A and B are shown apart, each in its own frame.
Chain A
């Protein structure tokens, strides 16, 4: 078993298309999904908290990484698309995101956002085996 961190999914339609396949792929379990603001013209996310999280995450990985599973970044789109309160990432029943960045262990209640997501101990707890 290995831990991979390669997949980037851009936008809601692409996410809907891929999530079913990803869920079924045993080699990618558990799925860790980071929902984050899409990149702007400068190649950086429009969402400053998402940029901050990437720094925390890079730092975190220097100390420890999961032994198995797959880490996926889902880009929720440009700022205007996300800020719309009818944004499908906010309304879809299995997602119901309230902020970005949000990190979830897919298919479990484990989810971190806001000030929890930049707390390395909370990240470790989310990545922990149950």
Chain B
């Protein structure tokens, strides 16, 4: 960042660079130098530290916690830094959700849905020329980018208004109360101390190193790159079966891109597998080529360019059959890893789970070090969801500084997978329910397949929408799992999530009168159990 404005903060930073680090913040410097080094700006507070609360990571959770803490008049700092991807993509303040996650994903999903509407429109009397159905990748990316930049700016302003001290710098613990902050040129911009720390650094996509040859990212991009890709990706191969893989396949296919998904084993691990398989089928119906039981063995570059030409070689683990898939862009969606590597956590005694690499926390988001907290995607055992991190962050700040005592309830959190037909769920998958309640005889599963009214005229996605309720038999059919596959899944599920959280029973839904004609109304009239083996295809109006 060029120093165009000679603001007070920039003066501080410049002054700090010329001082030997031991002197800064040591308290041994005299008053005059202290002023020059910015000690005036970050004076030691009553407890002897510069800050009451310092947040590492400017994503959903970190921002929410910082702003909430500042509301209580606390001296709060926040450091955020985005390490560029191997292909050079970088972004602004706001974290994964805003920049390379939920926001651009949902907008690209919307681009795909609009394509469907355009296709369907002729069945409703509209005339749609061929030209109107073409899609401009670059225009979409530019529009999304502009929106994201306005969100980045909005976060900067809200931190400023809340008087949270913001550092665009990478953090590293020196000891359990001291943090080094280093800028993109690896220059130290500050060394601060804080009474309490929050680590909310999130995660970044994993690369498949070793297997594919070349450096990580040499031939592959990830979800970190696709949303701002400056050129049309051409034919795409997506490696992985995660929700990120399937959502990306869905929206790329929906805007007319040739997509192949290479999946080693399960689709949507951790989700209800009946629904996961249904989503796989829908993607295929929409034109995505699904290569199941298939692992990539090598990727070679045939021609460089934007996009270039690549070949993905793979092997089918069941048949041993090998395959090669020529394409222009390879997107890896093989999981995410927490960004805790550079924090020097070992030094200060914060425990990290050896398998996941995530920070071990208790149910109050506290790490092994009493005054260091962690939440969001970098905390062990937590759902990697934006609203979860926000809620946890706000509640943590309330408990720490606002006299609150409410802990984050991580149970029964609804989520949506934004595939062409969206999938929303809250509570347990059928597999989890069977395990938890001791087998088939203890749970009752109601289900129904249906076609939304708006899909009838264009005969779209016939018999693809599916709803399932999982109830505990000896608890008056209390609903412990809610699953819906169909349009507007997120909008439908949010309200039911409240009901499920309040332990709604199947009978309560039966007594509820539906809204006609909607997709959601079928949850008020479900009567076919899986056990009965009866037809679960809904007919009539």
Size band of the interface chain B makes with A: 10 to 19
Report how far A109 CA is from B92 CA in the complex, Å. Answer: 12
Contact, CB under 8 Å: A129 / B160: no
Contact, CB under 8 Å: B161 / A116: yes
A108 sits at the interface (CB 8 A): yes
Which chain A residue has the least Cβ–Cβ distance from B150?
A109
Which chain A residue has the least Cβ–Cβ distance from B154?
A109
B1 sits at the interface (CB 8 A): yes
A67 sits at the interface (CB 8 A): yes
* Residues 138-191 of B contacting A (Cβ, < 8 Å): 146, 149-150, 152-153, 156-157, 160-161
Question: Which of B3, B150, B157 sits near A129, CB closer than 8 Å?
Answer: B3
* Residues 415-431 of B contacting A (Cβ, < 8 Å): none
Chain B residues, Cβ within 8 Å of A108: 149, 153
Contact, CB under 8 Å: B157 / A130: no
Question: Which of B2, B4, B149, B157 sits near A116, CB closer than 8 Å?
Answer: B157
Contact, CB under 8 Å: A109 / B157: no
Report how far A68 CA is from B3 CA in the complex, Å. Answer: 11
B7 sits at the interface (CB 8 A): yes
Contact, CB under 8 Å: A64 / B6: yes
B132 sits at the interface (CB 8 A): no
Report how far A111 CA is from B146 CA in the complex, Å. Answer: 13
A99 sits at the interface (CB 8 A): no
Q: Which segment of A4-12, A51-59, A119-127 sits at the interface?
A: A119-127
Knowing A108-B149, A109-B153, A110-B153, say if A68 contacts B161 (CB, 8 Å).
Answer: no
Chain B residues, Cβ within 8 Å of A63: 6-8
Contact, CB under 8 Å: B153 / A129: no
Mask, A70-83, CB within 8 Å of B = 1, is 00000000000000
Contact, CB under 8 Å: B156 / A125: yes
* Residues 72-130 of A contacting B (Cβ, < 8 Å): 108-112, 115-116, 119, 121-122, 124-125, 127-130
Min distance, Cβ A111 to any Cβ of chain B, angstroms: 7
Consensus secondary structure, chain A interface: loop
Which chain A residue has the least Cβ–Cβ distance from B8?
A63
Contact, CB under 8 Å: B153 / A111: yes
Consensus secondary structure, chain B interface: helix
| In the complex, number of A-B residue pairs with CB atoms less than 8 Å apart | 50
Report how far A115 CA is from B161 CA in the complex, Å. Answer: 9
Contact, CB under 8 Å: A122 / B5: no
Which chain B residue has the least Cβ–Cβ distance from A65?
B5
Min distance, Cβ A32 to any Cβ of chain B, angstroms: 11
Size band of the interface chain A makes with B: 20 to 34
Contact, CB under 8 Å: A129 / B1: yes
Question: Which of B7, B146, B153, B161 sits near A124, CB closer than 8 Å?
Answer: B7
Contact, CB under 8 Å: B161 / A129: no
Which chain B residue has the least Cβ–Cβ distance from A112?
B157
Report how far A112 CA is from B153 CA in the complex, Å. Answer: 10
Contact, CB under 8 Å: A109 / B4: no
Contact, CB under 8 Å: A124 / B149: no
Chain A residues, Cβ within 8 Å of B161: 115-116, 119, 122
Which chain B residue has the least Cβ–Cβ distance from A111?
B153
Chain A residues, Cβ within 8 Å of B9: 124
Chain A residues, Cβ within 8 Å of B7: 63-64, 124, 128
Min distance, Cβ A33 to any Cβ of chain B, angstroms: 16
Report how far A108 CA is from B6 CA in the complex, Å. Answer: 21
Contact, CB under 8 Å: A121 / B160: yes
Mask, B1-35, CB within 8 Å of A = 1, is 11111111100000000000000000000000000
Chain A residues, Cβ within 8 Å of B2: 129
Contact, CB under 8 Å: A130 / B5: no
Chain A residues, Cβ within 8 Å of B160: 116, 119, 121-122, 125
Question: Which of B1, B149, B150, B152 sits near A128, CB closer than 8 Å?
Answer: B1
Chain B residues, Cβ within 8 Å of A115: 161
Contact, CB under 8 Å: A109 / B3: no
Min distance, Cβ B403 to any Cβ of chain A, angstroms: 27
Report how far A65 CA is from B4 CA in the complex, Å. Answer: 8
Contact, CB under 8 Å: B4 / A128: yes
Contact, CB under 8 Å: B149 / A127: no
Chain A residues, Cβ within 8 Å of B1: 128-130
Min distance, Cβ A106 to any Cβ of chain B, angstroms: 14
Knowing A119-B161, A121-B160, say if A128 contacts B153 (CB, 8 Å).
Answer: no
Knowing A68-B4, A124-B5, A129-B1, say if A109 contacts B156 (CB, 8 Å).
Answer: no
Report how far A63 CA is from B9 CA in the complex, Å. Answer: 12
Min distance, Cβ A80 to any Cβ of chain B, angstroms: 30
Mask, B46-58, CB within 8 Å of A = 1, is 0000000000000
Contact, CB under 8 Å: B156 / A67: no
What are 10 A-B pairs at a CB distance below 8 A? Answer: A65-B5, A67-B4, A68-B4, A109-B146, A110-B153, A112-B157, A116-B157, A121-B160, A125-B160, A127-B4
Top 7 A-B residue pairs of the complex, sorted by shortest distance between their CB atoms? A109-B150, A129-B4, A129-B2, A109-B149, A124-B7, A64-B6, A109-B153
Interface set of B (CB-CB < 8 Å, partner A): 1-9, 146, 149-150, 152-153, 156-157, 160-161
Interface set of A (CB-CB < 8 Å, partner B): 63-68, 108-112, 115-116, 119, 121-122, 124-125, 127-130
